Amino acid sequence: MANDHEGTNPRAGTTVEKFRDDNLPGPGTGIVQTDAVENPGFEPFRARVSDLDPAKARANERRVSAFFIVSIIGSVFAIAAYIAFPIVDGDPGTIHLNNLLLGLGIALALLAIGFGAVHWSKSLMDGHDLVEQRHGTRGTEATRAKAVEVFELGNKESGFGRRTLIRRTLIGALVVSPLPAVVLFRDLAPAENPVPLLQQTMWAKGVRLTRDPSGTPIKASDVTIGSAFHVIPEGLNESEHKLEEKAKAAVLLMRLKPQDLHVSAGRETWNYDGIIAYSKICTHVGCPVALYEQQTHHLLCPCHQSQFDITHEAKVIFGPAKRPLPQLPITVDSEGYLVASSDFTEPVGPSFWERKL
Amino acid sequence: MSTADAAQTVEPTKGQRFTGWAANYVDERTSISGLVKELGRKIFPDHWSFMLGEVALYSFIVILLSGTFMTFFFQASMTPVFYDGSYVPLKGIEMSAAMASTLDLSFDIRGGLLMRQVHHWAALLFVASIGLHMLRIYFTGAFRKPREINWLIGFVLFVLAMAEGFTGYSLPDDLLSGNGLRIIDGLVKGIPIIGTWISYLLFGGEFPGEDVVGRFYVLHILLLPAILVAALGVHMLLLIINKHTQFAGPGRTNDNVVGVPIMPVFAAKAGGFFFIVFGVIVLIASLFQINPVWTYGPYDPSPVSAGTQPDWYIGFADGALRLVPPGWELELGAFTLSLNVFLPTIVLMLFLLVVAIYPFIEAWITGDKREHHIADRPRNAPTRTAIGAAGVTSYAVMWGAASSDLIATHFKLSIESVTYSIQALFFLGPIIAYIVTKRVCLALQKKDREIALHGYESGRIVRLPNGEYIEVHEQLDEYDRWKLVSYEDYKPLMLRPDAKGRITNGQRLRSRASRWFFEDRIAPVTRTEIEKSKHAEH
């Protein structure tokens, strides 16, 4: 019985738990004894139509077989579709058709087997519920005693408990032995310290700002007020570690009216006539801050919605980012092309522990 | 053949002789007859909700099959190549070999796109069905003794499934998966002290490097599946040892299992159900496109599209990141502590930790050391159900937060107001869900009690001789009533000194927790009450 726990419960209402030697699970501490309703026992079995009417049973038999035959048809159809609807080079429609017909054939073959088997089990196989007794999960007392004896014998014959020196040195050896495996993983990354790498980019004095991805340089006169350019440093496309460099050096170039910019002390020369360049890598977790709202001069990160105000040196006005986007100091060279006057003055991208070292 | 002959030994047919010979051959070498004897007629109880775990198991098999097919074509390499396949818009574009081979698999291998889509849909279904399976276990209390360890193993399977999902999502090395990795890089870098180095080791240098796809590939197809299969094996083994729980019903007790035997009914039903799950996945994969990497293009750190979203099961983590208010980053001397990144990570870990250890918390509070094989109806454990509803709500809020930008654009709201609302909901939602759920459970219990004692409304109106109209209530039969009255009853612990006459702080905490758990309760109908109500009506 579901509610069956024997007798009274002397420990109910205390928080004391004791291990009981008998095989029965101990009653819990907060369990209430009631005169619970008695389990009425099994309901009488209700026969199905196919149990009573042999004609219905035969109809179900035919139905199940029909499912299995449909399955064979589905498989054959899938093979036929594979051959009859090949992928034609340069015609995306054929990929769609191949995918669709092959898939429908296989799906039909599988579903029909499934429906057939389930229908068979529900309508024709014996419908009586059967009962199996449960036994407590713990082993019998005899088994447990035997298990304890096995450990005791093992301990006695080896002296594991008695010979403490052996035991302690063994545990020590086992603890230390995986350490070489940990050390082995050091060379997952190159030998050099990552921190200086994270603190520099390809930008340097005189490196031209070029369009992403073509790499053509940008003249200051090309940048009209209100426009925005996706920028990479000159030579990035030829660099050996192109993606790694781009992941740090990607820049967004915009031009505002100079009087709209709030330039702080020390940054007066970082813009060129209202043309400003900011790192495109979000200071939150590194997504490209690719969305520029021309009207409000806000940059929006599409990943976690941090917003940066370009008129106030990309300071964070909303979202989980903390630091402003780093500004790239720019000027023009003798031919009128925009160039960097130096690298960024702080690490770009997501914050990391040693950022200020 | 006459009936008299049939009663004697029947000459076996050729087929029967062969089967007999083969069975004997195998048994003499494996003694497998013992296993068949033990398990062949094992009983499985039936309920629709018991299928959820089956769906998870079967979709995992589908994942293994479709994934194996793809390994024959996929190249887990980030070596740059120039794409030269049949998808014209990307012809001549530089991309990694991983991306190029994914495109080849999609556009030049017949059935390749189908297998990719089967794999992806099955993976989504896998995580979803594990989640629902866990909710079923939770809300019916099926994690109680002796199944706490199996709950933990199931939890490990859930985490492994998400890890499998994320590593697999990263393999095609397209723009979306690269951005996903970029976020992981940012998350890892946000871990204090060791974050920078972990990211450096993971990516084999600076992000993105040329190693991560190969490494994730090994995790995705070797290490994680190996652990997953092993844990799944133990999960199934413990299921056999503990036997399945069953809902209360006439004749069903804590000491028996009522249902159908493995051979033949359960085997046919479950085997058939495997084919149905497989078939439905293939049907979806042939009709609905998923993860069209060719429209995103190869990974490039610079572009990103608006409305980027992870697969659904990573959403709650992404949403948690979005909920942090501005400015949560500290500078401790020369070091930077990115609370805006690290704190959500901690919150998620705590959330998962509570999920993992909940069975032990509840066992401690109730002090119940008995084995439980009857699944609770959720209403009959109001506090547990309410806690579960609060947990589901906080998960749902974080998950919804991952779509804050889409909510804003679809409903023409500002992203700020959407974010502020979700931030408020993160704290208020679970509390509201807790209170409402608890009250609903208690109300449902009251309704059950009412029906068990006084029957249900029959809809038959009778006019009494004195002119009064009454609706006749029909009594339940004892089988139906049993389902309403057969549940466990607990009461709050009384704080009492222990054997040594002390009251410890642990005991104080426990009795407070016990009061919180069981203070509001509706006791099950008793035999005496039923007798009384019978007398009252006659």
Q: Say if residue A27's pLDDT is above 50.
A: no
pLDDT at residue number A79 = 97
pLDDT digits (tens, 9 = 90+) for B412-461: 999 899 999 999 999 999 999 999 999 999 999 999 999 999 888 888 99
Interface test with A, best of B199, B206, B405 (most A CBs within 10 A): B206
Query: How far away is chain B from the Cα of A158, in angstroms, using its nearest Cα?
Result: 31
Inter-chain residue contact B183 with A303, CB threshold 8 Å: yes
Confidence at residue A15, expressed as pLDDT on a 0 to 100 scale:
39
Share of chain B above pLDDT 90, in %: 77
Task: Specify the pLDDT at position A21.
Answer: 38
DSSP state of A208: B
CA angle B89, B91, B97 (to 5 degrees): 120
The Cα B478–Cα B455 span in angstroms is 11
pLDDT of residue B472: 87
pLDDT interval class at B491 (50, 70, 90)? confident
**pLDDT band for position B280 (50/70/90)?**
very high
Band the pLDDT of B264: cuts 50, 70, 90: very high
CB B39 within 8 A of CB B241: no
Residue range B304-341, pLDDT digits in tens: 777 677 889 999 999 999 999 888 988 888 899 999 99
Q: Which CATH number fits domain B33-44+52-72+80-249+262-376: 1.20.810.10, 3.50.50.60, 3.40.50.300, 2.60.40.3080?
A: 1.20.810.10
From A13, A89, A106, residue closest to B282, measured CB to CB = A106
Q: Is A302 on the interface with B (CB under 8 A)?
A: yes
Q: What is the pLDDT of residues B131-148, one digit of tens each?
A: 999 999 999 999 999 999
B537 or B512: which carries more pLDDT confidence?
A: B512
CA atoms within 13 A on the CB side of B50: 16
> Nearest CA to CA, how far is B413 from chain A (Å)?
14
Percent of chain B scoring above 70 in pLDDT: 98
% of chain A beyond a pLDDT of 90:
71
pLDDT band at A29 (very low <50, low <70, confident <90, very high): low
Average pLDDT rounded to a whole number, residues B15-37: 95
Contact assignment for B257 to A121 by CB distance below 8 Å:
no
pLDDT surpasses 80 at A31: no
A18 shares contact with chain B (CB less than 8 Å): no
A267-287 pLDDT, tens digit per residue, is 989 999 899 999 999 999 999
Q: How far apart are CA B55 and CA B43, in angstroms?
A: 19
| CB nearest B416 (choices: A16, A27, A318) | A318
pLDDT at A2 over 70: no
- Whether A351 sits inside 8 A of B203 (CB atoms) is no
b/e string for A149-167 if b means 16 or more Cβ within 10 A? Answer: eeeeeeeeeeeeeeeeeee
Cα B338 from Cα B189, distance rounded (Å) = 9
Question: In the predicted model, what is the mean pLDDT of residues B156-166?
Answer: 96
Check if the beta carbon of residue B70 is closer than 8 Å to that of residue B116: yes
The predicted structure's pLDDT at residue B459? 87
Cα-Cα-Cα-Cα dihedral sign, residues B199, B204, B210, B214: negative
Query: How close B389 comes to chain A (CA, Å)?
Result: 24
Chain B, residues 335-354, CB within 8 A of chain A, namely 335-338, 340-341
Q: In this model, does residue B538 exceed pLDDT 60?
A: no
Q: How far is A162 from chain B (nearest CA, A)?
A: 33
Mutation pick from B193, B282, B482, B503 vs chain A, by most beta carbons of A within 10 Å, is B282
What ipTM is given for this predicted complex?
0.91
Q: Provide the 10 A C-beta neighbour count for residue B32.
A: 12
Task: Flag if B43 and A2 touch (Cβ within 8 Å).
Answer: no
- pLDDT-derived band at A22 (thresholds 50, 70, 90) equals very low
Chain B interface includes A104 (CB < 8 A): yes
Q: Residue A356: what pLDDT?
A: 84
**pLDDT at residue A30, rounded to an integer:** 61
CA distance A204 to chain B (A): 19
The answer for B 89-108 residues in CB contact with A (under 8 A) is 106-108
Confidence bin at A8 (pLDDT 50/70/90): very low
Mean pLDDT of A103-116: 98
State whether residue A179 sits within 8 Å of chain B by CB: no
Q: Looking at per-residue confidence, does B325 or B127 come out higher?
A: B127
pLDDT digits 0-9 by tens, B59-80: 999 999 999 999 999 999 999 9
Lowest mean pLDDT among A20-29, A174-183, B489-498: A20-29
pLDDT of amino acid B259: 93
Domain residue spans in chain B?
Answer: 33-44+52-72+80-249+262-376, 439-537
User: What is the model's pLDDT at position B496?
Assistant: 76
Residue of B441, B444, B302, B446 lying closest to B382 (CA atoms):
B441
